């Protein structure tokens, strides 16, 4: 599902997709129409607002501290709600509770006032009257503190990641004094390895070594941005040290021509599974992509990429994001079993066989369980161009020389 933003699903007909970012807005109790030929009868789809309401709205920016944070199920009941707040790079769980009738979640009294200069992420799981699970994921940001900038970093503190993880920092304001900001950020590794920065525009700074990380490497990010001038009249406020650990080395190669994915772990082939990838009209990107997010279940909607209501699937299982523009590797329960290993029928995503609701024992479920964010998925023989280095954590598609040239310092430190 990507064609720079392919959100089409394997086996669904007539789902053109534009290259634009896919937002996996998670929906609750959505009756998914059988938009796949042979999938069943058509059920009239409902919009996310009819299913579950999250305030502030998904994607809202410059939210004020007095705005209301509330999650409401207009049908069914809420099962699990998790709200996290990221400020100055650190993550905090927002305390709250679901009302006895299961219809509403509200933050606890101390957290009812939103914090400025923060990013909020909302994950909701709900159950319909028959106990079927669906989910929604939204995010919003509050107004920046006057004359201050902060950086939100990936991966999280103390996270274990795959060997292809690229450390990415996204700033809440445009940075014009890039050299000064770059000097205020230090990335080190144990055992030692040279790590270099690369700017993608005025709000994103990534770090990576020349080759994939060695398993067991401990990486430390030292943010020394307090008082650093990022732009005229704008200064940093962060002074923080975080670290993450590189786990085992898992790499997966998808051969679109052969309709297979071969998984190698620590140098040994551990399996090969049949897949379906992008069709000739909507091929999957070539090159190295990195798993940046994992969702046990998520919603994929054509409207999020600028199209009408061609499809709206609220329960895509075992979904792993590969690009910002919408390429996912995910479970597929709607395509006939014979599709996998035989045909490429998606709009750019990589589909593995699964069951509705997500089967942990399916090929998709097993791969989801054994994968880490930071694992590398390489696509070949798709007929599509190589994914852009700044589309997701795809910087491995850039040469080391070109990567180092993206530093604001000369030579790159």
CA distances from 165 to 168, 347, 355 (A): 9, 26, 29
Ranges in the chain annotated CATH 2.60.40.3780: 48-58+63-141
CATH of domain 148-247+397-403: 2.60.40.3710
Which pLDDT score is estimated for 89? 60
Residue 349 annotated in active site = yes
What the block records as the tokens of 40 is 């069943």
**DSSP helix/strand/coil, 225:** coil
pLDDT of 203 above 90: yes
Which pLDDT score is estimated for 209? 98
Please report which confidence band the pLDDT of residue 110 belongs to, taking 50, 70 and 90 as the band edges.
confident
More confident residue, 23 or 226: 226
Query: What value does the mean pLDDT take over residues 203-216?
Result: 98
Which pLDDT score is estimated for 7? 43
Which pLDDT score is estimated for 112? 82
Short-list 358, 257, 338, 334, CA closest to 11: 334
**Cβ neighbourhood burial of 159 (10 Å; 0-12, 13-18, 19+):** middle
CA distance 206 to 39: 43
CA distance 126 to 135: 6
pLDDT of 296 above 60: yes
Write down how long the chain is. Answer: 413
Do 366 and 360 meet the contact criterion of CB atoms below 8 Å apart? Answer: yes
More confident residue, 79 or 186: 186
Residues in Cβ contact with 319 at an 8 Å cutoff, skipping those fewer than 6 apart = 24, 294, 295, 297, 298, 300, 328, 329, 330, 331
**DSSP helix/strand/coil, 136:** strand
Which pLDDT score is estimated for 39? 32
Which pLDDT score is estimated for 411? 61
CA distance 231 to 235: 7
Ranges in the chain annotated CATH 2.40.440.10: 250-396
CA distance 393 to 371: 16
For CA atoms 26, 32, 35, 39, give the dihedral sign.
Answer: positive
Beta bridge partners of 53: 72
pLDDT of 10 above 90: no
Q: Pick left, alpha or beta for residue 225 (phi over 0 → left; psi -120 to 50 → alpha; otherwise beta).
A: alpha
Among 141-145, 198-202, 310-314, 344-348, whose mean pLDDT is lowest?
310-314
Q: What is the mean pLDDT of the chain?
A: 85
Which pLDDT score is estimated for 111? 76
Summarize pLDDT for 264-283 with one digit per residue, the tens. Answer: 999 999 999 999 999 998 89
CATH of domain 250-396: 2.40.440.10
The C-alpha angle with vertex 116 and arms to 111 and 120, in degrees rounded to 5, equals 65
Please report which confidence band the pLDDT of residue 217 belongs to, taking 50, 70 and 90 as the band edges.
very high
**DSSP helix/strand/coil, 254:** strand
pLDDT of 17 above 80: no
CA distance 166 to 135: 28
Q: Indicate which residue of 137, 198, 330, 347 is catalytic.
A: 330
Which pLDDT score is estimated for 282? 87
Please report which confidence band the pLDDT of residue 242 belongs to, taking 50, 70 and 90 as the band edges.
very high
Residue 243 annotated in active site = no
CA dihedral 146, 149, 153, 157 (to 10 degrees): -70
Short-list 177, 82, 175, CA closest to 120: 82
CA distance 95 to 81: 10
Do 41 and 48 meet the contact criterion of CB atoms below 8 Å apart? Answer: no
In the CATH hierarchy, which fold is given to the domain comprising 48-58+63-141? Immunoglobulin-like (2.60.40)
Q: DSSP letter for 408, please.
A: S
Query: What value does the mean pLDDT take over residues 335-350?
Result: 94
Which pLDDT score is estimated for 311? 61
CA distance 317 to 297: 4
CA distance 207 to 390: 12
The alpha carbons of the chain give a radius of gyration, in whole angstroms, of: 21
Beta bridge partners of 292: none
Summarize pLDDT for 41-93 with one digit per residue, the tens. Answer: 334 444 444 577 899 999 898 898 888 899 998 888 898 899 999 876 667 88
pLDDT of 130 above 80: no
């Amino acid at each position: 599902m990507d064609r720079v933003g392919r959100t089409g699903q394997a086996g669904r007909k007539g789902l053109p997709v534009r290259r634009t970012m896919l937002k996996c807005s998670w929906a609750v109790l959505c009756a998914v129409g059988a938009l796949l030929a042979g999938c069943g009868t058509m059920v009239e789809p409902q919009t996310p607002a009819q299913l579950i309401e999250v305030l502030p709205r998904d994607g809202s920016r410059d939210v004020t501290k007095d705005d209301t944070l509330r999650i409401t199920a207009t049908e069914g009941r809420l099962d699990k709600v998790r709200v996290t707040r990221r400020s100055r790079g650190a993550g905090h769980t927002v305390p709250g509770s679901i009302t006895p009738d299961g219809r509403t979640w509200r933050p606890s009294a101390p957290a009812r006032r939103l914090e400025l200069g923060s990013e909020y992420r909302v994950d909701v799981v709900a159950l319909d009257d028959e106990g079927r699970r669906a989910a929604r994921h939204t995010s919003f940001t509050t107004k920046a503190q006057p004359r201050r900038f902060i950086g939100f970093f990936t991966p999280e503190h103390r996270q274990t990641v795959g060997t292809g993880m690229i450390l990415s920092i996204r700033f809440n304001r445009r940075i014009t004094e890039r050299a000064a900001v770059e000097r205020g950020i230090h990335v080190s590794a144990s055992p030692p390895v040279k790590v270099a920065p690369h700017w993608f525009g005025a709000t994103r700074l990534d770090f990576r070594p020349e080759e994939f990380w060695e398993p067991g490497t401990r990486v430390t990010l030292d943010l020394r941005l307090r008082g650093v001038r990022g732009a005229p009249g704008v200064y940093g406020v962060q002074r923080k040290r975080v670290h993450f650990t590189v786990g085992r080395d898992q790499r997966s190669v998808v051969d679109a021509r052969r309709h297979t994915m071969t998984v190698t772990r620590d140098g040994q082939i551990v399996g090969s599974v049949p897949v379906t990838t992008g069709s000739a009209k909507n091929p999957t990107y070539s090159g190295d992509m990195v798993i940046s997010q994992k969702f046990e279940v998520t919603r994929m909607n054509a409207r999020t990429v600028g199209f009408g209501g061609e499809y709206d699937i609220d329960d895509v299982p075992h979904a792993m994001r590969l690009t910002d523009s919408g390429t996912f590797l995910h479970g597929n329960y709607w395509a006939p079993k014979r599709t996998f290993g035989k045909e490429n029928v998606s709009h750019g995503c990589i589909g593995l066989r699964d069951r509705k609701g997500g089967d942990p024992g399916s090929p998709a479920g097993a791969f989801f369980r054994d994968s880490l964010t930071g694992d590398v998925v390489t696509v070949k023989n798709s007929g599509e161009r190589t994914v852009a280095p700044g589309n997701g954590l795809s910087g491995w598609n850039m040469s080391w020389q070109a990567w180092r040239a993206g530093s604001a310092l000369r030579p790159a430190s």
